[in-house]
Protein backbone atom coordinates (compact mmCIF):
# COMPACT_ATOMS: atom_id res chain seq x y z
CA UNK A 1 0.00 0.00 0.00
CA UNK A 2 1.36 3.46 -1.01
CA UNK A 3 0.92 6.19 1.64
CA UNK A 4 0.98 9.81 0.47
CA UNK A 5 2.91 12.16 2.73
CA UNK A 6 1.88 15.76 3.39
CA UNK A 7 4.81 16.91 1.27
CA UNK A 8 3.61 14.89 -1.73
CA UNK A 9 0.09 16.18 -1.37
CA UNK A 10 1.23 19.78 -1.28
CA UNK A 11 3.39 19.27 -4.36
CA UNK A 12 0.44 18.19 -6.51
CA UNK A 13 -2.06 20.71 -5.21
CA UNK A 14 -3.20 23.32 -7.66
CA UNK A 15 -3.26 26.94 -6.65
CA UNK A 16 -6.22 28.88 -8.01
CA UNK A 17 -5.63 32.56 -8.71
CA UNK A 18 -8.26 35.24 -8.95
CA UNK A 19 -8.80 36.51 -12.47
CA UNK A 20 -7.71 39.99 -13.12
CA UNK A 21 -10.92 40.85 -15.05
CA UNK A 22 -13.94 41.12 -12.81
CA UNK A 23 -17.20 39.33 -13.81
CA UNK A 24 -20.18 41.60 -14.32
CA UNK A 25 -23.82 40.69 -15.03
CA UNK A 26 -25.12 41.56 -18.49
CA UNK A 27 -28.66 42.81 -18.74
CA UNK A 28 -30.92 41.13 -21.31
CA UNK A 29 -32.66 43.40 -23.73
CA UNK A 30 -36.43 43.36 -24.20
CA UNK A 31 -35.99 42.21 -27.80
CA UNK A 32 -33.86 39.25 -26.77
CA UNK A 33 -36.32 38.26 -24.08
CA UNK A 34 -39.25 38.41 -26.51
CA UNK A 35 -37.37 36.32 -29.08
CA UNK A 36 -36.61 33.62 -26.51
CA UNK A 37 -40.25 33.52 -25.35
CA UNK A 38 -41.44 33.15 -28.91
CA UNK A 39 -39.00 30.31 -29.51
CA UNK A 40 -40.19 28.42 -26.43
CA UNK A 41 -43.82 29.00 -27.33
CA UNK A 42 -43.37 27.68 -30.87
CA UNK A 43 -41.25 24.69 -29.94
CA UNK A 44 -43.17 21.64 -28.54
CA UNK A 45 -41.83 19.97 -25.47
CA UNK A 46 -42.44 16.52 -27.02
CA UNK A 47 -43.28 15.20 -30.45
CA UNK A 48 -46.48 13.11 -30.51
CA UNK A 49 -46.98 10.46 -33.14
CA UNK A 50 -50.57 9.20 -33.10
CA UNK A 51 -51.08 5.43 -33.25
CA UNK A 52 -53.36 3.59 -35.67
CA UNK A 53 -57.07 4.20 -35.06
CA UNK A 54 -58.39 1.81 -32.42
CA UNK A 55 -60.79 -0.79 -33.74
CA UNK A 56 -64.12 -0.69 -32.00
CA UNK A 57 -64.75 -4.35 -32.72
CA UNK A 58 -62.25 -7.17 -32.97
CA UNK A 59 -62.88 -9.35 -35.98
CA UNK A 60 -63.13 -13.02 -35.09
CA UNK A 61 -63.99 -16.29 -36.78
CA UNK A 62 -67.58 -17.48 -36.31
CA UNK A 63 -67.99 -19.95 -33.47
CA UNK A 64 -68.64 -23.46 -34.73
CA UNK A 65 -70.49 -25.87 -32.47
CA UNK A 66 -69.04 -29.40 -32.45
CA UNK A 67 -71.47 -32.12 -31.46
CA UNK A 68 -69.97 -35.25 -29.92
CA UNK A 69 -71.96 -38.46 -29.60
CA UNK A 70 -71.04 -40.47 -26.50
CA UNK A 71 -73.74 -43.10 -26.49
CA UNK A 72 -75.77 -44.84 -23.83
CA UNK A 73 -74.45 -46.23 -20.59
CA UNK A 74 -74.60 -49.86 -19.49
CA UNK A 75 -78.19 -50.98 -19.07
CA UNK A 76 -79.43 -52.19 -15.70
CA UNK A 77 -80.75 -55.23 -17.58
CA UNK A 78 -77.32 -56.26 -18.84
CA UNK A 79 -76.79 -59.08 -16.28
CA UNK A 80 -80.10 -60.68 -17.27
CA UNK A 81 -79.34 -60.28 -20.97
CA UNK A 82 -75.91 -61.85 -20.49
CA UNK A 83 -77.36 -64.78 -18.54
CA UNK A 84 -80.00 -65.46 -21.23
CA UNK A 85 -77.40 -65.21 -23.99
CA UNK A 86 -75.18 -67.70 -22.17
CA UNK A 87 -78.04 -70.15 -21.67
CA UNK A 88 -79.06 -69.92 -25.33
CA UNK A 89 -75.44 -70.44 -26.32
CA UNK A 90 -75.34 -73.73 -24.41
CA UNK A 91 -78.66 -74.85 -25.92
CA UNK A 92 -77.48 -74.04 -29.42
CA UNK A 93 -74.20 -75.86 -28.84
CA UNK A 94 -76.05 -79.01 -27.81
CA UNK A 95 -78.51 -78.82 -30.73
CA UNK A 96 -75.71 -78.27 -33.25
CA UNK A 97 -73.71 -81.21 -31.85
CA UNK A 98 -76.77 -83.44 -32.30
CA UNK A 99 -77.21 -82.17 -35.86
CA UNK A 100 -73.56 -82.87 -36.72
CA UNK A 101 -73.80 -86.38 -35.29
CA UNK A 102 -76.90 -87.14 -37.34
CA UNK A 103 -75.35 -85.59 -40.46
CA UNK A 104 -72.23 -87.74 -40.08
CA UNK A 105 -74.38 -90.88 -40.06
CA UNK A 106 -76.71 -89.98 -42.92
CA UNK A 107 -74.49 -87.86 -45.15
CA UNK A 108 -70.87 -88.53 -44.16
CA UNK A 109 -69.41 -86.88 -47.25
CA UNK A 110 -71.35 -83.72 -46.55
CA UNK A 111 -70.48 -83.79 -42.85
CA UNK A 112 -66.78 -83.88 -43.68
CA UNK A 113 -67.02 -80.55 -45.51
CA UNK A 114 -66.27 -77.27 -43.81
CA UNK A 115 -69.35 -75.11 -43.55
CA UNK A 116 -70.94 -72.40 -41.47
CA UNK A 117 -74.52 -71.36 -40.90
CA UNK A 118 -76.45 -68.39 -39.62
CA UNK A 119 -79.99 -67.01 -39.28
CA UNK A 120 -81.36 -64.78 -42.02
CA UNK A 121 -83.78 -61.89 -41.61
CA UNK A 122 -86.83 -64.15 -41.88
CA UNK A 123 -85.60 -66.54 -39.19
CA UNK A 124 -84.50 -69.32 -41.56
CA UNK A 125 -81.14 -71.05 -41.24
CA UNK A 126 -78.69 -70.38 -44.04
CA UNK A 127 -75.62 -72.49 -44.78
CA UNK A 128 -72.46 -71.30 -46.51
CA UNK A 129 -69.14 -72.84 -47.39
CA UNK A 130 -66.07 -71.68 -45.53
CA UNK A 131 -63.41 -73.31 -47.69
CA UNK A 132 -64.99 -72.87 -51.10
CA UNK A 133 -65.46 -76.62 -51.54
CA UNK A 134 -69.25 -76.81 -51.25
CA UNK A 135 -71.21 -76.95 -54.48
CA UNK A 136 -74.59 -75.30 -54.97
CA UNK A 137 -76.19 -78.74 -54.57
CA UNK A 138 -74.38 -79.31 -51.27
CA UNK A 139 -75.46 -75.92 -49.95
CA UNK A 140 -79.05 -76.59 -50.98
CA UNK A 141 -79.00 -79.94 -49.18
CA UNK A 142 -77.50 -78.39 -46.06
CA UNK A 143 -80.09 -75.64 -46.00
CA UNK A 144 -82.87 -78.21 -46.21
CA UNK A 145 -81.40 -80.35 -43.43
CA UNK A 146 -80.65 -77.38 -41.15
CA UNK A 147 -84.18 -75.98 -41.39
CA UNK A 148 -85.71 -79.44 -41.02
CA UNK A 149 -84.11 -79.76 -37.56
CA UNK A 150 -86.70 -77.97 -35.42
CA UNK A 151 -84.52 -78.10 -32.30
CA UNK A 152 -81.55 -76.53 -34.06
CA UNK A 153 -83.65 -73.89 -35.81
CA UNK A 154 -85.39 -72.86 -32.59
CA UNK A 155 -82.11 -72.75 -30.71
CA UNK A 156 -80.44 -70.67 -33.43
CA UNK A 157 -83.27 -68.12 -33.58
CA UNK A 158 -83.34 -67.82 -29.78
CA UNK A 159 -79.60 -67.33 -29.75
CA UNK A 160 -79.81 -64.62 -32.42
CA UNK A 161 -82.48 -62.73 -30.51
CA UNK A 162 -80.59 -62.93 -27.21
CA UNK A 163 -77.38 -61.82 -28.92
CA UNK A 164 -79.13 -58.75 -30.30
CA UNK A 165 -80.49 -57.92 -26.84
CA UNK A 166 -77.08 -58.45 -25.24
CA UNK A 167 -75.46 -55.94 -27.57
CA UNK A 168 -78.32 -53.48 -27.06
CA UNK A 169 -77.94 -53.70 -23.26
CA UNK A 170 -74.20 -53.01 -23.43
CA UNK A 171 -72.53 -49.61 -23.80
CA UNK A 172 -70.13 -48.12 -26.35
CA UNK A 173 -67.86 -46.83 -23.55
CA UNK A 174 -68.51 -49.13 -20.58
CA UNK A 175 -69.15 -52.79 -19.79
CA UNK A 176 -67.83 -55.00 -22.59
CA UNK A 177 -68.03 -52.22 -25.25
CA UNK A 178 -70.34 -54.33 -27.42
CA UNK A 179 -72.73 -51.38 -27.44
CA UNK A 180 -70.48 -49.79 -30.02
CA UNK A 181 -72.01 -52.11 -32.63
CA UNK A 182 -75.45 -52.20 -34.19
CA UNK A 183 -76.63 -55.82 -34.30
CA UNK A 184 -80.06 -56.39 -35.82
CA UNK A 185 -82.09 -59.13 -37.49
CA UNK A 186 -81.20 -57.53 -40.82
CA UNK A 187 -77.42 -57.69 -40.41
CA UNK A 188 -77.03 -60.71 -38.10
CA UNK A 189 -76.40 -63.10 -41.00
CA UNK A 190 -73.56 -60.88 -42.25
CA UNK A 191 -71.99 -60.73 -38.79
CA UNK A 192 -72.27 -64.03 -36.93
CA UNK A 193 -71.38 -67.52 -38.12
CA UNK A 194 -73.07 -69.80 -35.58
CA UNK A 195 -70.87 -72.77 -36.39
CA UNK A 196 -67.79 -70.67 -35.68
CA UNK A 197 -69.00 -70.12 -32.11
CA UNK A 198 -68.08 -73.71 -31.32
CA UNK A 199 -64.82 -74.00 -33.22
CA UNK A 200 -62.13 -75.29 -30.83
CA UNK A 201 -59.67 -72.59 -31.84
CA UNK A 202 -61.67 -69.83 -30.16
CA UNK A 203 -61.72 -69.00 -26.43
CA UNK A 204 -64.86 -69.46 -24.37
CA UNK A 205 -65.74 -66.03 -22.85
CA UNK A 206 -68.77 -64.19 -24.26
CA UNK A 207 -70.01 -67.13 -26.27
CA UNK A 208 -66.89 -68.42 -27.94
CA UNK A 209 -65.92 -66.13 -30.81
CA UNK A 210 -69.07 -64.03 -30.60
CA UNK A 211 -67.24 -60.91 -29.43
CA UNK A 212 -64.46 -61.48 -31.96
CA UNK A 213 -66.91 -61.81 -34.85
CA UNK A 214 -68.83 -58.77 -33.68
CA UNK A 215 -65.65 -56.71 -33.42
CA UNK A 216 -64.33 -57.76 -36.84
CA UNK A 217 -67.53 -57.90 -38.89
CA UNK A 218 -70.06 -55.88 -36.91
CA UNK A 219 -71.72 -52.69 -38.10
CA UNK A 220 -70.56 -49.73 -35.99
CA UNK A 221 -73.28 -48.06 -33.93
CA UNK A 222 -74.07 -44.46 -34.83
CA UNK A 223 -76.10 -41.80 -33.09
CA UNK A 224 -78.94 -42.35 -35.57
CA UNK A 225 -78.96 -46.15 -35.28
CA UNK A 226 -78.81 -45.93 -31.50
CA UNK A 227 -81.77 -43.55 -31.45
CA UNK A 228 -83.74 -45.94 -33.67
CA UNK A 229 -82.84 -48.90 -31.47
CA UNK A 230 -83.86 -47.12 -28.26
CA UNK A 231 -87.10 -45.91 -29.83
CA UNK A 232 -87.98 -49.46 -30.88
CA UNK A 233 -87.52 -50.50 -27.23
CA UNK A 234 -89.68 -47.67 -25.93
CA UNK A 235 -86.86 -45.51 -24.52
Tens digit of each residue's pLDDT (9 = 90 or more) over 5-21 = 444 444 444 444 555 55
DSSP state letters, 140-196: HHHHHHHHH-HHHHHHHHHHHHHHHHHHHHS-SSSTTSGGGB---TTTHHHH--TGG
For residue 216, pLDDT over 70 is answered with yes
In a domain, 113, yes or no: yes
Q: What confidence category does residue 200 fall into, taking pLDDT thresholds of 50, 70 and 90? A: confident
Section 68-96 average pLDDT = 95
b (16+ CB within 10 A) / e for 37-63? eeeeeeeeeeeeeeeeeeeeeeeeeee
* Structural domain range at position 193: 78-232
- Distance in angstroms (rounded) separating the CA atoms of residues 200 and 60: 62
What does the pLDDT read at residue 14? 47
Section 84-106 average pLDDT = 97
pLDDT digits (tens, 9 = 90+) for 32-51: 555 555 554 555 555 555 55
Domain count of the chain?
1
Q: Tell me, what DSSP letter sits at residue 108? A: H
In a domain, 71, yes or no: no
In a domain, 114, yes or no: yes
In a domain, 203, yes or no: yes
Section 62-85 average pLDDT = 90
Q: Tell me, what DSSP letter sits at residue 198? A: G
Section 117-137 average pLDDT = 92
What does the pLDDT read at residue 61? 75
Q: What is the mean pLDDT of the chain?
A: 82
In a domain, 173, yes or no: yes
In a domain, 15, yes or no: no
In a domain, 60, yes or no: no
Q: What confidence category does residue 62 fall into, taking pLDDT thresholds of 50, 70 and 90? A: confident
For residue 167, pLDDT over 80 is answered with yes
pTM for the full predicted model: 0.70
In a domain, 70, yes or no: no
Amino acid sequence: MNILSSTAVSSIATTLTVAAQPLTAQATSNATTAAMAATVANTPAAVYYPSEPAQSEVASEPVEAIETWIGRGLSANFPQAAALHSANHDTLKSAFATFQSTLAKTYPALASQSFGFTVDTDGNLQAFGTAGSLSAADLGKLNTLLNASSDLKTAAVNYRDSAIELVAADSPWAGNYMGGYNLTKDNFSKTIDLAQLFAPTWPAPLGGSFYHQLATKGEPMTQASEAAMLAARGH
